[in-house]
Copies of this chain bind each other. A is one copy, B any other.
Amino acid sequence: MPAPSFCQGLQHAQEMTHFPFSPQLTSSSFLRIGQLSNVDLNEDIRELETELPRQHPNEIPHNEKLLSLKYESLDYDNSENQLFLEEERRINHTAFRTVEIKRWVICAMIGILTGLVACFIDIVVENLAGLKYRVVKGNIDKFTEKGGLSFSLLLWATLNASVVMVGSVIVAFIEPVAAGSGIPQIKCYLNGVKIPHVVRLKTLVIKVCGVILSVVGGLAVGKEGPMIHSGAVIAAGISQGRSTSLKRDFKIFEYFRRDTEKRDFVSAGAAAGVSAAFGAPVGGVLFSLEEGASFWNQFLTWRIFFASMISTFTLNSVLSVYHGNAWDLSSPGLINFGRFDNEKMGYTIQEIPIFIFMGVVGGILGALFNALNYWLTMFRIRYIHRPCLQVVEAMLVAAVTATVGFVMIYCSRDCQPIQGSTVAYPLQLFCADGEYNSMATAFFNTPEKSVVNLFHDPPGSYNPMTLGMFTLMYFFLACWTYGLTVSAGVFIPSLLIGAAWGRLFGISLSYLTKGSIWADPGKYALMGAAAQLGGIVRMTLSLTVIMMEATGNVTYGFPIMLVLMTAKIVGDYFVEGLYDMHIQLQSVPFLHWEAPVTSHSLTAREVMSAPVTCLRRIERVGTVVDILSDTSSNHNGFPVVESNPDASQVAGLRGLILRSQLIVLLKHKVFVERANLSLVQRRLKLKDFRDAYPRFPPIQSIHVSQDERECMIDLSEFMNPSPYTVPQEASLPRVFKLFRALGLRHLVVVDNRNEVVGMVTRKDLARYRLGKEGLEELSLAQT
């Protein structure tokens, strides 16, 4: 059996050590290559396919300066092989118009379905939570008179814990990827990282049920973040015209069965999710672009906007009908901040420094939140990785949340007149008749309602003490809650914490300035909410627009922007944003917008992986099988070189072929006997590749007989004949820019004679990062 042709890499080793810049880096990259060859990729692939039950060792060693090799990349670059080009050339102008119309139809469907899912969540939560609050309220009212409120506490805590238990069990045991808000996962997906199971139907079902149960279970969570994930799953499902989980193929939209198209639709889905969650269609578009799209395309953006608009419109119509005012269209999102009246609540120039100060506070509190959550997450990764432990923790948090709420309500003596207030479930407790307990409105309510109350309740509705205690307790509860194995978002708790301290701040200001009219506590609650949320998630443009759209007016645009910007700058000084932190803790090879500024000293030669396994244009089947089965070949793409270079000719790069393509070729037995090379090998169609997308079988599942191993396979018409390349001298920022802008998965590094010397993939670029002391290099591992 002839050895696979390893090209160039080794010959160049000597050259590399002579390279003038940073020899220590060169040697470290050699070390890395050594590590790579120990990697067992087989297991990973098998696991992905056959879905073995995950094994949980007792303690998982974890290091944040690690990049996991288990994540594959998406390929935003079409493989322009002959099959593809033939199809594209066959399609005429009219057919392209049909494709374009299909794209619009899909976007409309994404919008409608996302809107309907949001409605479903909203209505179910409203009813179940209402039921729960009525039961507990009845119980409390009963026992307030009779004494024995501990029964009420028990009832409340048990109710919460049992609801959360169900929510946690389905997530932990059925689909762990549905945990959390899903925003980090969608960020990764849009960035080009394939997170297993992230856009499956099962994930959607678990996500939706999970978020309903978490909110009803009284956790300090919101139902908005998960909408983004839900929208993305809906988009991925619809655009492919089939569900692998349900084993149904509708034979439509087959043209869109590739990463490029799918990712575009997932962007639209995520935008539609934001749009439904906050009634913020423009914010949704900006969210998708900020997080995902590297290449801004006008048509794509317009489609995304269309999906967003349809989504909020659907939600608005259905909820309006449900609430009985069919033509009113007053519920554009799951949460609406309510109308801020321009005339009453303008701002003046003097207030701007105050807003900036609030941004600073938000940044610091956000950084504190993230730091606490970081330690908690590290603890969870180390010790709470069994599903049953995760369920127990979630139940504990639910019970504690109820208890804290109860104790605070119990101890509070902040009574407000019930007359004229809009509280949904006023709890009288120890207040006089006709009054209600003000602390209870904050705890005894879905967080969305509490936020709106804090924004709009007239001055004097809250006691400063109540707000202070509430901020403190809710801060820690929310921090403990984020990262639990339940499906839930962090937007609303952040807004709630911020609104509480913002209102407190406004009240103090009003007190200090002896009640100047401009210190409206509602306005400060809004700014506080923006500051806190900005300090935690560090989103920029999109968050400003989301806040603007959710408040329904544009007057506060400038102060909100200032607050968010300050919060981001201050927060970034201490610690990363919550989502980025969690992405990093997962060791995901995430590509940021630009290469680290100080990385001009690195060149492609130093960052690339080498040696690269190359294939010849006409290759022995046995060799292909061996290379694919070889556990040391860690790439999913293989450069193709000329078959028989004679001495005078250079064995230059001819193309690039993907593991998935080779597997389809082997599966369909596309090869001819060596003796009959003149025979034409079997023709495949693009459809064969599309049918296998995205779950290509592993090489182990394909049987190749000993005779077949001796056959030859001609890769010419399947390989991409014009892969992107860079010369070895190109600097890292240059390589990064090409890779990021075009959404590549493989970038071949060639020398002056167009011979392959290495390959740059996502992990090679994501490894370099700007740390506190300059450029850092993460190590790679199979975690």
A357 within 8 A of B: no
- A762→B636 CA distance, assembly (Å): 34
- Quick one: closest B residue to A544, CB to CB? B305
- A82→B242 CA distance, assembly (Å): 53
- Quick one: closest B residue to A641, CB to CB? B752
Give the residues in chain B near A346, CB-CB below 8 Å: 327-330
- A294→B321 CA distance, assembly (Å): 42
- Residue A561 contacts which of B91, B309, B342 (CB distance < 8 angstroms)? B309
- Residue A281 contacts which of B306, B329, B557, B738 (CB distance < 8 angstroms)? B557
A382 within 8 A of B: no
Give the residues in chain B near A80, CB-CB below 8 Å: 730-731, 734
Give the residues in chain B near A312, CB-CB below 8 Å: 558
A88 within 8 A of B: yes
A281-296 near B? 1/0 per residue, CB < 8 Å? 1100100011001111
Least Cβ–Cβ distance between A319 and chain B, in angstroms: 13
Q: Are A92 and B296 in contact (CB under 8 A)?
A: no
A197 within 8 A of B: no
A689 within 8 A of B: no
- Quick one: closest B residue to A550, CB to CB? B554
Q: Are A96 and B729 in contact (CB under 8 A)?
A: no
Q: A583-638: which residues lie under 8 A (CB-CB) from chain B?
A: 593-594, 597-598, 600-601, 604
Copies in the complex: 2
A727 within 8 A of B: yes
- Quick one: closest B residue to A328, CB to CB? B346
Question: Given A290-B298, A540-B302, A565-B306, are A557 and B282 neighbors across the interface (CB < 8 Å)?
Answer: yes
Q: Are A339 and B342 in contact (CB under 8 A)?
A: yes
- A89→B601 CA distance, assembly (Å): 6
Least Cβ–Cβ distance between A572 and chain B, in angstroms: 12
Q: Are B540 and A298 in contact (CB under 8 A)?
A: yes
Q: Are B597 and A96 in contact (CB under 8 A)?
A: yes
Q: Are A742 and B752 in contact (CB under 8 A)?
A: no
Give the residues in chain B near A305, CB-CB below 8 Å: 540-541, 544, 561
- A296→B294 CA distance, assembly (Å): 6
Q: A327, A349, A742, A754: which has the most chain B beta carbons within 10 Å?
A: A754
Give the residues in chain B near A650, CB-CB below 8 Å: 650, 752-753
Q: Are B348 and A297 in contact (CB under 8 A)?
A: no
Q: A308-365: which residues lie under 8 A (CB-CB) from chain B?
A: 309, 312-313, 317, 326-330, 332, 339, 342, 346-350
- Quick one: closest B residue to A281, CB to CB? B557
A770 within 8 A of B: yes
A698 within 8 A of B: no
Chain A, interface size category, equals: 35 or more
Q: Which of A159-167, A422-430, A503-511, A718-726 participates in binding chain B?
A: A718-726
Give the residues in chain B near A724, CB-CB below 8 Å: 738
- A91→B593 CA distance, assembly (Å): 20
Give the residues in chain B near A85, CB-CB below 8 Å: 600, 731
A146 within 8 A of B: no
A458-501 near B? 1/0 per residue, CB < 8 Å? 00000000000000000000000000000000000000000000
Give the residues in chain B near A296, CB-CB below 8 Å: 289, 293-296
- Residue A738 contacts which of B93, B299, B742, B770 (CB distance < 8 angstroms)? B742
- A652→B730 CA distance, assembly (Å): 16
Q: A535-575: which residues lie under 8 A (CB-CB) from chain B?
A: 540-541, 544-545, 548-549, 552-555, 557-558, 561, 565
Least Cβ–Cβ distance between A285 and chain B, in angstroms: 7
Q: A728-758: which residues lie under 8 A (CB-CB) from chain B?
A: 729-731, 734, 737-738, 741-742, 750, 752-754
- A598→B565 CA distance, assembly (Å): 45
Give the residues in chain B near A263, CB-CB below 8 Å: none
Least Cβ–Cβ distance between A716 and chain B, in angstroms: 11
- Residue A553 contacts which of B544, B553, B731, B750 (CB distance < 8 angstroms)? B553
Q: Are A299 and B593 in contact (CB under 8 A)?
A: yes
Question: Given A93-B597, A298-B290, A752-B654, are A737 and B742 neighbors across the interface (CB < 8 Å)?
Answer: yes
Give the residues in chain B near A309, CB-CB below 8 Å: 557-558, 561
A301 within 8 A of B: yes
- A270→B770 CA distance, assembly (Å): 32
Q: Are A89 and B600 in contact (CB under 8 A)?
A: yes
- Quick one: closest B residue to A300, CB to CB? B593
A417 within 8 A of B: no
A515 within 8 A of B: no
Which 10 A-B pairs rank lowest in CB-CB distance, beginning with the nearest?
Answer: A722-B730, A88-B600, A754-B754, A327-B348, A96-B597, A296-B296, A652-B752, A741-B741, A722-B727, A302-B540
| 7 A–B contacts from the bound complex (CB under 8 Å) | A282-B282, A282-B544, A285-B541, A295-B295, A309-B557, A554-B554, A652-B752
